[in-house]
Amino acid sequence: MRLHLFFLILLAGSTCFAVNYSGPIGHREAFLANAGGGMAESPGNVLLNPAGLGFRQNKESSLTVSGNAISRQEFNVSQYAVDPEEMSIRPLLAAGIYPTNYGTMAIFISNPTSFKIYGGSSSSESGVNIKTLLRVDYEELAAGMTWAREIHPHFSWGVSAGIGVETQKSYGYALASQMGVTAVTSFSLTEQKTVSLFIVPGVLFKATDHWNVGLSVKALADLSSSATTMRFRTNSSSPTTVEELNNSYDPNGTSPLSFRLGQEFIFSANHDVYLDLIYQGASSSYNANNEKFLTDEIWSGALGYRNSFSNDVETLWGYSYARSGSADSNSLTAGVALERRNNEFIFGLYYLSSVPREADTGGFNSYGVMFSSNVEY
């Protein structure tokens, strides 16, 4: 699961840029700006630190569904006027947790990243007018299993593993004209798919009654990757002839390795602070011209706060900041959790922004409504 950085190879106008997109994910973690590496007994442990499920005291099975009720994404791509009206409705996580005599097992499906970009540009130089249109559809899905076990009252371990699938389609159209006469038209379509194996081992240590420390590592290994680019072109010298080029290639390069150090500070039964530090290494990919593109390493931190007003109501707040060589990203989240018996429902809001440092890097703003429901039976 690549939750942070990936490249979009856009063949319209030979433009290449990177989008740094990391949406809220998890159960309580989503409302804490993705902090929670030191949290125990949350369904979101399956993604952030599976060792947290090792301390699960409830012997009931549970089903969790969480995601974005409504989200709006506004991308800022250099030279393209991107339509800001894109809205999406999608689940981010569905997990079933099943206690056993030898630990806790979970099965989960997640959709951590999904977006569409539309745009167009128009320019004129030396009497030649160039117009381009752009569309990118990106989807990431992952499914896997988790196993966690408490081996000491103060220590637990766990591991999540599964399969991730990334699909991307890029459409490009370009038109060049001079004095109102069409000189060149071109259309390109790129389809890319990557299937990878992911594994997330983790440990959680209850250092004191008021301090938990968790560490998890996420590794990826690509099982298969393929891409196909088709280009169609006509020019004024032979307007009835369509030049066609098909190119199949392997975009596989290197996959990033990431580390998460999470801490939970328990000030009282009603006040908890969560602090996570995350590092993701650099990775690479290739385009149709066999050009290698490197992604930057990313350092990020997330700070979350939980305040219980009563046994039935609590508030969750979060802020995170991520820094790479190409962009600075910020995230704000807030939610209200309602508990009834052993069931919990959370709803709230989120806001994400990424400010690019380079002219060919895409920035974005995203905001919307989130929900998460955990039912034990």
Kindly write down the DSSP assignment for every residue of 332-351, as one continuous string.
EEEEEEEEETTEEEEEEEEE
User: What torsion, rounded to 10 degrees, do the Cα atoms 309, 261, 355, 122 define?
Assistant: -110
Closest Cα partner for 55 from 170, 150, 171, 164? 150
Over range 151-161, report the average pLDDT: 96
Over range 186-215, report the average pLDDT: 95
Give 81-99 pLDDT, tens digit per residue: 776 656 666 778 999 999 9
Most confident among 43-47, 56-60, 83-87 (mean pLDDT): 43-47
Q: What does the pLDDT read at residue 6?
A: 30
332-to-12, 198, 317 alpha-carbon distances in Å: 34, 28, 8
d(CA 317, CA 333): 6
Least confident of 41-50, 51-60, 344-353, 362-371: 362-371
Q: What does the pLDDT read at residue 10?
A: 35
State the residue for tokens 């959680």.
204
Q: What does the pLDDT read at residue 2?
A: 39
Q: What does the pLDDT read at residue 7?
A: 30
Q: What does the pLDDT read at residue 3?
A: 32
Instruction: Write down the H helix ranges in the chain.
Output: 45-48
Closest Cα partner for 214 from 41, 48, 351, 62? 48
More confident residue, 180 or 125: 125
More confident residue, 275 or 175: 275
φ/ψ (deg, to 5) at 14: 55, 40
pLDDT confidence band for 265 (50 / 70 / 90): very high
Q: What does the pLDDT read at residue 361?
A: 65
Closest Cα partner for 324 from 1, 8, 18? 18
**Does the pLDDT value for residue 228 go beyond 80?**
yes
131-to-12, 135, 148, 173 alpha-carbon distances in Å: 10, 14, 55, 8
130-to-172, 182, 237, 243, 295 alpha-carbon distances in Å: 13, 10, 18, 19, 30
Q: What does the pLDDT read at residue 16?
A: 41
Q: Exposed e or buried b for every residue in 188-227, given b needs 16+ CB within 10 A?
A: bbbebebebebebbbbbbbeeeeebbbbbebebebeebeb
Give the pairing of strands 271-280 and 258-268. antiparallel
d(CA 215, CA 49): 7
**Does the pLDDT value for residue 78 go beyond 80?**
no
> What's the one-letter identity of residue 31?
F
**Does the pLDDT value for residue 238 go beyond 50?**
yes
Is the backbone of residue 290 left (phi > 0), alpha (psi -120 to 50) or beta? left
d(CA 304, CA 276): 9
Beta bridge partners of 134: 119, 172
φ/ψ (deg, to 5) at 42: -120, 135
Least confident of 52-56, 286-290, 364-368: 286-290
Q: What does the pLDDT read at residue 56?
A: 93
pLDDT confidence band for 4 (50 / 70 / 90): very low
More confident residue, 44 or 291: 44
Cβ proximity of 285 and 291 under 8 Å: no
Give 266-308 pLDDT, tens digit per residue: 998 889 999 999 999 988 777 777 777 777 899 999 999 999 9
pLDDT confidence band for 368 (50 / 70 / 90): very high
- Determine how many CB atoms are found less than 10 A away from the CB of residue 345: 14
The C-alpha angle with vertex 68 and arms to 214 and 85, in degrees rounded to 5, equals 130
Over range 208-225, report the average pLDDT: 95
Give 304-354 pLDDT, tens digit per residue: 999 998 889 999 999 999 998 888 999 999 999 999 877 899 999 999 998
